[in-house]
Structure 1
Amino acid sequence: MCSDREDSTVQGSHRWVAVSLLVALAVVVSGVAGPVTAQTQDAGPRDSDGFAQQSTPENATGTAEAANNSTARHVNPDNATDEETISELERVLAERLSGRLNESAARLSEGEYNRAQGELDEEYADLLSKYAEIEAERGNEELASEFERAAIEQRNLTLAAQEFNETLEAYQEAKRRGDEEEARRLAHRLNNISTRANVSEDRVREAYTNLSRETDENFSEARTRVAAVEENLTSTRNEIVAAELRATRLTLTTDDSHASFVDPMRVEGRLTLPNGSAVAEREITVAVGDRRYRTQTDSEGRFQLDYRPTTLSVNASEVTVRYVPDGASVYTASNGTLPISVEQVTATVDVEERTDRAAYGEQVVARGTLSVDGRPVPNYPLSIGTGGQSFVTSQTTGEGSFSANGSLPASVPSGERPLEVESTRSDAAVAVSARGEDFVVESTPTNLTLSVRQNGSSAVATGRLTTEDGQAIEGQPVRLSVGGETVERVETDADGRYEIRVGSGDVGSPTMAAAFDGSGSNLESSRATARLADGSWSNESEANASGGIGGEEAPSGTNRLMNSLFGWLFGSEGGGGGGSEFGDEPRDFTGVGIVAVVLASGWFLVRRLRSRRENETNDVEEETESEDTSETESPTAVFTADELLERGRVEQAIRLAYRSVQTAVTPMLDGSRRRQTHRQFYRACRRSGIAPQDDLDTLIETYEVAVYGEQTDDAGRVHEAVEAAQRLVRQFREDDAE
């Protein structure tokens, strides 16, 4: 419970924020009316509390901010509430997010795919992060999740539509050439793309429905547009499939629905055309749940196989059986289901080699075999870690062997720890849980730096967290305090760096400190302090040559206030004459509308309240996942992918193969960006015509399934993709030599 003094302090802070908001509003409103001069302006009529009334400004869409079109009463600071300010900020952010979703849907419906994606780029993510923080303050994270889901699925739908139309052009070109085999292969691809688009469209419309119900935003037109896009893809797909492919029917039976890895279920099936004619004497691929099998149909189209579940859930009551046609087959896929009762069995892990001791960032290795009653468990995903923390995953080979190799993360506490090999799924048909011998996790000293640059009336604190030998430490919390009071907490980036902007209201002490708390990890704590002396900030142990008061010419009056507000809200450098997305010159915000000030002031309020709570409690910081920023592989690295496959590292092998080809081919693609999605890279290669289509298709399709879909259990398919990648790299190396 807060003391009277603490409660008074909080109320005073809230009142100060309300007054700041009103002052900022008054400055902007007077700026909208015209430049301020030394003459006294007519403040207009005053209300009973003595506060001037102003005309209600219009928001970004030109509609009145309040129902009263002429005047709006200012709020008395004594009566202003934090909830009013935060609610306004929440409303405006939701409006901007919704506007971008609607505009993206409009661009998608017009076939303007790049513009549709652009509406959901980094700016959308920045707005969403601010909205999510406000919703988290209110305990309502679901709305932010819906905005995120809508954007993700709409991007997926846009990519699918773009890929569909490009593939359609290739299909039409194959038909003109008379290449029927290529046309069938592309027909299969169109079928698959359309299926993906259908799933994304369903999810987008569901997210729109939820957002419409929980907010005041209207998504009816966007729903209509995405539905029309999906209907057009489906209609075109149906026409092509009917012209190129023959539908199949899969009939399934089993004598006993009980199944375990040691006691398999016998699956009997028959593959026919809709008229009953058999798909006879063909080698086919049949997927049963989590496994794939190559089998042969007889003269009546019949086949049989023994299904041994590995990762299928023990709670499953039925299992899906699918006929998977080859790329250029004249037949379409078909599927059915069988009842199943799964009995879980426990596998034996034999660790043949392991790491004895490791420190942060060093490699932890575990090699061994996985079996049940002496039978190897193939293509099984494993997790290696300690204390419930997984820091490397692997997959067994077809012979049940595995080789895991990963870096030790900071989150594993120092000391003696057991090396644990477990299943990535607790409910799998094959259970794995093995506690190995202890290995030693060594503690690592750290070094934290702090540099402060004065930026007008505010300041920017930057620094870096590294090990003693200079290795960057990513994703660790750094707490900045001014005069002993916590101002902000941030996480270090991939280079170990952090940056914190300190508002003018917090720069009231000559001492600023940054601290990293390594408690509960294998990293030792560290701290850095900067002091304000003789008009400049300097580190206690080393003079700070990069900062200092007066280092930049600061704007004055209204522009300084607005620069600070825009810096807090939009993440720009803010203040001073520093460069930003708005240009290198000091920004003039005299005519900025009222909405921007409400956003900025509300955002400041949210951050200020959060900082106070963090200073009063020891809440655990929430960890976030960072995007993979691995360096591009050398093209010749693809020839080591076979070794990864032999060690059971299927996903790592296909990633290596893809990156190697991308590195070899990208310099030959005109106007190609360094970093592209795999589908953007694929389309660029197809447009240029410099890569053999079959090898490129094999690589990209396998990469997509392994990395973005369900984890592949088909090591043979990945092996084919690796061989395709090696052929591509050889070709481009020979081209370079010529």
Structure 2
Amino acid sequence: MGYVTDVTWVTRRRARLVFAVAAAFALCVSGVHAGPAAESAAATPTAQVSGPDNDTANNSSVPHHRDPATYEEPGEIRGLESWLDSHLGARLAASTRNVSQGQYEAARAVVGDAYSDRLDQYVDVAGATDYESDDRAADEFARAQDAQREYVSSTSRYERVHEQYQRARDAGDESRARRLARELQRLATNVTEHRTAVVESYRAVGNGTAVDLTAAMQRTNRSTEAVLSTQSSVRGETFTHTRVTLTLDDATLTPTRQSRATGVLRTADGAPIPNGTVVLRVGADTLTTTTDADGRYALTYRPVDLSTATESARVRYRPASASPYLGANATTPVDVASAPATVTLTSTPRAAAYGESLRVTGDVDVAGAQFAGVPVRVTLGGDVVARTTTNASGGFTATPRLGARPAAGTAPLTVEAGRTDTAIEPGRAATTLTVRETATSLSLTANASPSTLDVATRLRTPDGGVAGQPVVVRANGTRLATLTTDGDGTANATLTLPSRLQPTTGARTLTITAAYAASGTNLEAASARTAVTVSPPPASSSGVTLTQAWILLGAVLVASLLFALAYALWRRDLEADDDVPEPTPDPEPDPATPALADRLLATARASLDDAEAATTVETAYAAVRRAFDEDDARLRQRTHWEFYTTLSDTLGEDERAALETLTSTYEHATFAGRPVSRADAEAALAAAERLVEDA
């Protein structure tokens, strides 16, 4: 799905483009030799800004065929802006009218190229004034155009897919109809989001200009309600409600034993649902199974890296896209009892040097049991050098390579299994490692211009380059920069020479040094030096040849022709005609313009105050989708449960619970076609507010 984004309009008319080309051409060619006065004159041309056509839609006495830059009175500019306000507002209103009549191509066209042309004129006119409000109004008209385009696209897409859905039902293809019904739900959510963007942008236009778009906003709301009403009918005629249960054999989860989770999946009428996909989630752990012929399922679970703060286990039925059923979920409370880990090292190296592999092996025991998935961390000299997990028998193997740290000498090597505040309390085992020093070499090449120095260095050991190390470059003892070596040990840069090192009257020789101090590492220090000769810049000529004079004269003639062409294009644009009527002005107070997700939440809260619980849930859900999937095309294509599955792995326990509450309530509000209680709507809104705040 697409979203309306903030835009800063810097559009230029064709004539302005030609104007700029002319100026650039004159500047470039006059560079053969044209004194400072000539350069200044070429660099600061007087811009010509065109106005709109003369139109009976505005009763102002301002003549609309004049160049705004020639207007002498502020009232004349204001009159021209007022005419453009009315014109653009009338196009927005006409587009909403076309949408309400199902004329989507016409709705697109009226806010298409012709709208953009007038908006370009508005930007030019606003540029002829010193009022920031004019620039803001231009921005709002641009946002309104984008918002209306998105709304037209989402509503027309919904209508096309709904026609496909109807054909599938008429043909008896229920499986395809159900897939399309779920797609329609996603599209209906898009329509709701884009409706909010349209209304907000229209309100901003009204607050910044004399344009009244109240009727257009009302038409947009009615068009959206028509889509939601249609979608309610689609849900009611396509899907069946379901129920799922969850029972644990022991509510206390501990790594010392396996727990068993069982339950049954049925329709709301009690019929079992076989082969249904059931997902058990405990904290960040997820297990998936399918129901048997009687709708029953069973899973075994042992907490390993589960947070001790976990308070509940959840099971969710996830129907396929072609399924006739709605999803369902159930929750049961749990406690997490931790147990300590015991680490035994079976193999560790005694000594190593830079770049050598360190093989560390061992076993992890938890209260006499061994199992897979226990996190293991290897540290050397206080730095983490490897992470792994245990296998099914509790064993682990880590093979990190020794880096530049720790320093040469004896360093502590520690292995830790388990994590604080999880089901497995940390256990540790330690030994020592003798770190040998490794010789290094540093190469240096340098080339100089009058004001810069190109340097290339490489730090190596006998086995290859050394990455991530600092190399200090100096010229005649003056520090120029500290470079960091890349993957093969090289560090190249172009450095600026201080003015005191730049030659003035004759060439001079500079001593360039590169030094690697090796502080705190197991590598030896290294340095290199070279000498470069720096020559002063060549003296510039002040004479003007006859050829240069002719070239300059030709540049002036060509630039004059281009300026004339620019003026002709302005005049042709000024004489264009358009018949879009002007709406009645009715300014509104200036509101704040928060992010779209926040505005959706505000709309949801307003719906709750108006006792529209279902609209509250749908709009709150739209706010969360807007907050998380704006820049992620993968997320935007997901259904609500696919969105939940993809996103939940990145969330904390509380945020996952909030997302599941919101998704479940949203599904029943949008698919079930039955009333949503105020309490459920309040819970969904609270969950959405938390998720948007943490997004």
TM-score (norm 1): 0.40
Larger Rg: 2
TM-score (norm 2): 0.42
